[in-house]
């Protein structure tokens, strides 16, 4: 069974496969891979006999084996039509209202057609889109120099960012004006990103010509995959059809021979977006690339030219980013926090492989002042739930696994006299279910860990079956929005057993299990099962809700299961009888009060909360000005707010105030040069203390002291008797 941790939408490629080789769990690479044989300028694309058989099999498997138990009927046919049109033209930039009206004839017949192996509706709609797309690109390229020359950036007009509420254009003139504004916005963004004026037209011309070249290469495999996935993703976002070329790419990604930056990418509109980073991969260790960043250009080496990749196919962008170990790639990105496309940042990353030992659990000790005392808190950072299956099958004595490594670290920390343990699961996207169960066994005497409910509605349970020694000291588990799948199973079990206090941000919410089914042509990755906690609650959609909530550094509208269309809902089943290892729930009100008091006076915590608030304000911007002076004013306003937040923190900590955000970057560079920081290890040692990790340590100390007081109070009561 193949379980896909924290899987993004289809249209995703994995740039470093190691975490997916460590176990039978992985992300499916479902990029639209095209034939190298170019079609004529425009011709009809027709489906093949093999695709007739494939679509019949696909629907049968969806109806029989998918967890949601949905029938492909008239109602789902109507949704399939809307989903398909949206997958082709989500920005409403190609089809006219008259086209959409014409497509209504297919609304309740697509299910009947598909079950008979007919793909007429899907290919007819695509061919219309294909022709409109090529016509638009040709026209844009032909008129680009004159169109840019005629632009007036003193005119008071705006472009809408809310494409979902946009209506289909009723006339060609209305659609032309929509394109005029989009092109004007692209030009203005390049201007404000300091692109020389004489390079703007060549940059856009190259961009559109590249798109046109890709468009002319579409073949029936591409059309079939888009049409099929418009249906499969109505069942849930992790159920995808993989064409033969996509399957080949998936298999390539499972090879250790690939080297890259350690990132998972997906397409969003015309941008290549970072979905997640592989723990301890080159990008993760470099530290500047973040989930939801959009890659707009790629450069080779320290000083190679940056090649604009907006509008490129995902596999084409990946080919630029991939490369040999120890070579340099530069990514120009629009940061996730930026609302407009004006803000750009160039990130330099050295390509490498992600090694198993680098993803291993690591330990450190926090020494936290508590009055006149120093409390030692042990921290175990677990980047992934890994296991060397090959070594285990060979019966090697010392094969690597998460549980084996953590067991050793636990003993070492206890030998060093720590007063409690924090398990850091931030950014841990999952991995081996077996390891999630085994790890739980290090902290409980015995008992169930997880329930798995199949689409047949049969439920089976897994966990620790035999009693054995376990760590019974104070325990806190730190999670964030990128903690998913196996991480959620472990954190949920610790919470249900009242074995640990969970702190941080609500987790990802990926609580489903996928498997691969071969078809006549390609494969179907289908959601067959769902995870449930021993409390009976699903980890799906809702994730694990922390006992003590820290500020979220991630946009929940962009990241997490709840951000994905058609994600399966949260629900619950019968709980399993289990023991409680304490009454942590009784301590939580006091711990929450102490946390509120402490965080309310912590400049770094206030800084995080202010950043979150600013991001929420930015998300409310629904349109951008196309008047240059107003666009600059908007950008300056955003930068002023960010500067104010930074100086508020600096004032509270006694640091020198900044006059601009650029000063902060220069200051950090100067500090590194003065300190002679060369290696990654030295950089990590010089970084400021992790405010969230330190706060997790404070929560552990609060729980420890409150428990000790409770024990002392009970002893006094017993003595009084």
Residue numbers annotated as active site: 485, 496, 510
Distance CA 134, CA 211 (A): 9
Cβ-contact 306, 295 below 8 angstroms: no
In 3D space, the residue among 292, 149, 122 whose CA is nearest the CA of residue 223 turns out to be 122
Contact 423, 475 (CB under 8 A): yes
Question: Structure tokens of 89?
Answer: 């033209």
DSSP state of 551: P
Residues sharing a CB contact under 8 Å with residue 23, sequence separation 6 or more, in sequence order: 385, 386, 387, 389, 431, 432, 434, 435
Residues 6 or more apart whose Cβ sits within 8 Å of residue 120:
113
Phi-psi region of 311 (alpha: psi -120 to 50; beta: other; left: phi over 0): left
User: To the nearest 10°, the Cα dihedral for 563, 567, 569, 575?
Assistant: -100
- Pairing mode of beta strands 271-277, 294-300: antiparallel
Candidates 348, 344, 345; CA nearest to 304 is 348
Angstrom distance (rounded) from CA 359 to CA 351: 16
Return the percent helix, strand and coil in the chain, to nearest 5: 45, 15, 40
Distance (Å, whole) CA 340 – CA 344: 10
Calpha distance 612→405 (Å, rounded): 35
What stretches of 501-573 show up as alpha helix (H) in DSSP? none
Q: Which residues pair with 268 in a beta bridge?
A: 271
Q: How far apart are CA 627 and CA 352, in angstroms?
A: 44
> Three-class SS of residue 303?
coil
Cβ-proximal residues to 632 (8 Å cutoff; 6+ apart), any chain? 192
Q: Are 167 and 173 in contact (CB under 8 A)?
A: no
Contact between 216 and 137 under an 8 Å Cβ cutoff? The reply is no
> In whole angstroms, how far apart are CA 234 and each of 230, 240, 363?
7, 10, 43
Cβ–Cβ contacts within 10 Å for residue 121, how many? 21
**CA 460, 466, 470, 474 torsion-angle sign:** positive
- Tokens representing 197 are 């004026």
Structural contact between residues 240 and 232, judged by C-beta atoms closer than 8 angstroms = yes
CA angle 626, 174, 168 (to 5 degrees): 105
Residues in the chain: 721
**Three-state SS sequence of 611-648:** HHHHHHHHHCCCEEECCHHHHHHHHHHHHHHHHHHHHH
Using CB atoms within 10 Å of the CB of residue 289, give its burial: 0 to 12 exposed, 13 to 18 middle, 19+ buried: buried
CA of residue 622 relative to chain centroid, distance: 23
Beta strands per DSSP E along 425-484: 447-454, 459-464, 475-479
Q: What torsion do the CA atoms of 677, 678, 681, 684 make, to the nearest 10 degrees?
A: 40
DSSP annotation of 105 reads G
Radius of gyration (Cα) for the chain, nearest Å? 27
Which residue in this structure is represented by tokens 């906690």? Answer: 533
Using an 8 Å Cβ cutoff, are 130 and 227 in contact? no
Closest CA to 455 of 28, 70, 54, 25: 70
Query: Residue 572: helix, strand or coil by DSSP?
Result: strand
């Amino acid at each position: 069974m193949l379980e896909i941790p924290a899987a993004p939408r289809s249209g995703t490629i994995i740039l470093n496969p190691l975490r997916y080789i460590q176990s039978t769990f992985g992300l499916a690479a479902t990029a639209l891979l095209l034939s190298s044989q170019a079609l004529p300028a425009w011709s009809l694309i027709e489906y093949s006999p093999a695709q007739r058989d494939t679509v019949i099999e696909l629907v049968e498997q969806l109806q029989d084996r998918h967890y949601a138990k949905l029938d492909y009927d008239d109602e789902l046919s109507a949704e399939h039509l809307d989903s398909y049109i949206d997958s082709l033209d989500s920005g409403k930039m190609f089809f006219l209202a008259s086209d959409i009206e014409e497509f209504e004839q297919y609304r309740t017949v697509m299910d009947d057609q598909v079950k008979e192996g007919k793909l007429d509706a899907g290919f007819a709609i695509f061919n219309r889109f294909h022709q409109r797309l090529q016509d638009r690109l040709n026209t844009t390229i032909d008129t680009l120099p004159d169109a840019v020359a005629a632009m007036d950036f003193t005119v008071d007009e705006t472009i809408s960012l809310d494409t979902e509420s946009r209506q289909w254009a009723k006339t060609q003139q209305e659609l032309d004006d929509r394109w005029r504004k989009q092109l004007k916005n692209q030009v203005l963004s390049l201007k404000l990103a300091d692109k020389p004026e004489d390079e703007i037209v060549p940059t856009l011309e190259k961009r559109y010509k590249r798109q046109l070249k890709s468009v002319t290469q579409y073949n029936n495999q591409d059309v079939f995959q888009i049409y099929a996935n418009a249906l499969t993703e109505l069942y849930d976002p992790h159920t995808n059809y993989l064409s033969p070329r996509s399957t080949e790419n998936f298999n390539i990604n499972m090879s250790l021979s690939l080297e890259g930056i350690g990132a998972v990418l997906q397409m969003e509109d015309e941008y290549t977006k970072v979905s997640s980073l592989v723990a301890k991969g080159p990008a993760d260790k470099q530290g500047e690339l973040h989930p939801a960043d959009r890659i707009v250009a790629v450069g080779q080496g320290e000083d190679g030219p940056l090649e604009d990749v907006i509008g490129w196919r995902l596999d084409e962008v990946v080919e630029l980013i991939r490369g040999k170990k120890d070579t340099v790639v530069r990514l120009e990105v629009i940061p996730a926090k930026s609302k407009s496309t004006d803000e750009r940042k160039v990130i330099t990353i050295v390509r490498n492989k992600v090694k198993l030992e680098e993803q291993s659990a690591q330990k450190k000790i926090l020494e936290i002042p508590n009055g006149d005392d120093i409390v030692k808190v042990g921290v175990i950072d677990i980047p992934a739930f890994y296991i060397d299956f090959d070594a285990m099958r060979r019966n090697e004595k010392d094969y690597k696994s998460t549980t084996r490594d953590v067991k050793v670290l636990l003993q070492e920390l206890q030998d060093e006299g720590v007063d409690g343990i924090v398990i850091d699961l931030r950014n841990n996207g999952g991995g081996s279910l077996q390891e999630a169960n085994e790890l739980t066994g290090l902290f409980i005497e015995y008992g169930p860990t997880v329930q798995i409910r199949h689409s047949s509605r049969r439920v089976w349970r897994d966990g620790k079956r035999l009693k054995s020694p376990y760590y019974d000291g104070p325990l806190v588990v730190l999670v964030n929005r990128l903690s998913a799948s196996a991480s959620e199973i472990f954190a949920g079990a610790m919470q249900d057993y009242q074995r640990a206090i969970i702190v941080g941000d609500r987790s990802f919410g990926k609580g489903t299990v996928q498997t691969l089914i071969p078809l006549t042509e390609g494969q179907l990755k289908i959601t067959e099962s769902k995870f449930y906690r021993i409390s009976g609650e699903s980890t799906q959609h809702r994730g694990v809700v922390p006992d003590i909530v820290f500020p979220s550094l991630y946009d929940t509208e962009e990241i997490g299961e709840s951000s994905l269309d058609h994600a399966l809902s949260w629900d619950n089943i019968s709980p399993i009888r289990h023991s409680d290892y304490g009454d942590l729930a009784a301590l939580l009100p006091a711990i929450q009060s102490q946390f509120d008091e402490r965080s309310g006076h912590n400049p770094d915590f206030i800084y995080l909360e202010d950043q979150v608030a600013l991001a929420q304000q930015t998300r409310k911007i629904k349109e951008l000005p196309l008047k240059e002076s107003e666009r600059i004013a908007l950008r300056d306003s955003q930068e002023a707010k960010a500067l104010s937040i930074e100086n508020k923190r600096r004032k509270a900590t006694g640091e020198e105030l900044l006059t601009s955000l650029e000063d902060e970057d220069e200051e950090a560079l100067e500090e590194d040069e003065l300190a002679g920081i060369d290696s990654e290890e030295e950089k990590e040692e010089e970084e400021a203390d992790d405010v969230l990790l330190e706060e997790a340590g404070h929560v552990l100390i609060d729980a420890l002291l409150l428990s000790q007081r409770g024990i002392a109070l009970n002893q006094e009561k017993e003595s009084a008797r």
